[in-house]
Amino acid sequence: MIPGPVEVPPAVLHEMGRPPQSHVAPAFIERFGRVIEGVRALFRAPDGQPFVVAGSGTLAMEMAVVNLIEPGDPVLVVVTGYFGDRFASVLERFGARVAILSAEPGEVPPAAMVDEALDGADYRALFLTHVDTSTGVRLDIEPLAAAARARGVLTVVDGVCATAGERFEQTAWGVDLALTASQKAIGAPPGLALLVAGPQALATWRERRSPVAGYYADWGRWLPIMTAYEARRPSYFATPPVNLIAALDAALQGLLGEGMEPLWARHARTARAFRAAWRALGLALVPARPAIAANTMSALYYPEGQDSALLAAVRDEGVALAGGLHPALRQRSFRVGHMGPIGAGEILTTVGAIERALHRAGASSAPGAGLTAAQQVLAANQNEESNDEL
């Protein structure tokens, strides 16, 4: 139950164990074509151009930067944790002039501050992290993207810990470039970087004055490949990781079969169940308010007097959790991933393991308090679930 890599459904795992196909075999061409269409549907980007490339989420971030940004371009990065800082580092490496608007860990900058910051310079792009995995904080993307678009500024969203788990409408919200990786809410093994570029992002790339500062990362290499496979024609620039593409195909069939609304609703209900349990167990969330807490993961403070020994105790109870990641929170917080193919079984198993570990360490809450709170959410009818309190 870490925030990636997450559990992988058996149908996805099965594809990883098959003999690698030729990248020009008809069955593979069909798969890759379906994957490109599926990624477009997952991002809700009917006018978007997907790129599916071997690499991790960080490559997707780098591809966003090298294709969109030219040396000297002013950019604004909203930082809500470790991965916002990473975006700023990548941008600096490629010569952007980076302005940072950061919030205290667990907070988001108010929308009015972002507006004001956007007015501060003639920015090329606004960089946002949908869910920052180091703080569990979720940004409200839609109004920020609208504010950027109103000023002719591109919006780039790192959705690595959000896509497929948090509501996201790339085209409707006016997000120009969104990216994720295969191993988080998508529920496939790590190894694929996914990007979807909207028309403005592609136009910006086409109008560049300087060459893209990367050979493998250049959209110019990949655009003909993506277009060919989507038209069910083979093409070659660099060998695609055929087993991972097949695994992603299986994962996307599962996600799109479930449907985007039910998928987002399942993650929201899972998060409510976990938050009810945290409250019953006296565990405080790093996000300052439930309204800015992610549905895909929880970042929590250790209870008074406890540290990472708690995670070892939970592991002994059979559940793997993640330690702190944000430099300012590393010793004080831990993280529970709740994205991907999980349901009531995983929720109750996780809460139960944490509860037993806390009890052994002398916690005062009665064993079962966290489970009861989670069950109350899980047992409620969908239409009783308006309680945004959680």
Ligand X SMILES: *Cc1c(COP(=O)(O)O)cnc(C)c1O
Phi then psi dihedrals of residue 49, to 5 deg: -110, 110
Token representation of residue 367: 């064993």
Using the rule CB under 6 A, give the single segment among 50-58, 301-309, 333-341, 368-376 that binds ligand X. 50-58
DSSP state of 285: B
For residues 193 and 357, which CB has a smaller minimum distance to ligand X in the complex?
Answer: 193
Using the rule CB under 6 A, give the single segment among 117-125, 142-150, 158-166, 382-390 that binds ligand X. 158-166
Q: Is 269 left (phi over 0), alpha (psi -120 to 50) or beta?
A: alpha
Establish if 58 lies at the interface with ligand X (CB under 6 A).
yes
Member of 28, 43, 51, 83 binding ligand X (CB under 6 A): 83
First-to-last CA distance in the chain?
Answer: 20
Phi then psi dihedrals of residue 16, to 5 deg: -70, -25
For residues 190 and 220, which CB has a smaller minimum distance to ligand X in the complex?
Answer: 190
Q: Which of 40, 18, 378 is nearest to 226 (CA)?
A: 40
For residues 174 and 191, which CB has a smaller minimum distance to ligand X in the complex?
Answer: 191
Member of 39, 161, 336, 351 binding ligand X (CB under 6 A): 161
Q: Which of residues 312-371 bind ligand X (CB under 6 A)?
A: none
For residues 191 and 341, which CB has a smaller minimum distance to ligand X in the complex?
Answer: 191
Member of 4, 50, 174, 340 binding ligand X (CB under 6 A): 4
Size of the site for ligand X (CB under 6 A): 12
Q: Which of 283, 279, 305 is nearest to 362 (CA)?
A: 305
**Beta-carbon count within 10 A of 362 CB:** 9
Establish if 292 lies at the interface with ligand X (CB under 6 A).
no
Phi then psi dihedrals of residue 146, to 5 deg: -65, -40
CB 32 within 8 A of CB 21: no
Phi then psi dihedrals of residue 277, to 5 deg: -65, -45
Q: Which of residues 124-153 bind ligand X (CB under 6 A)?
A: 129, 132-133
Member of 56, 171, 235, 349 binding ligand X (CB under 6 A): 56
Establish if 181 lies at the interface with ligand X (CB under 6 A).
yes
Binding stretches for ligand X (CB under 6 A): 4, 56-58, 83, 129, 132-133, 158, 160-161, 181
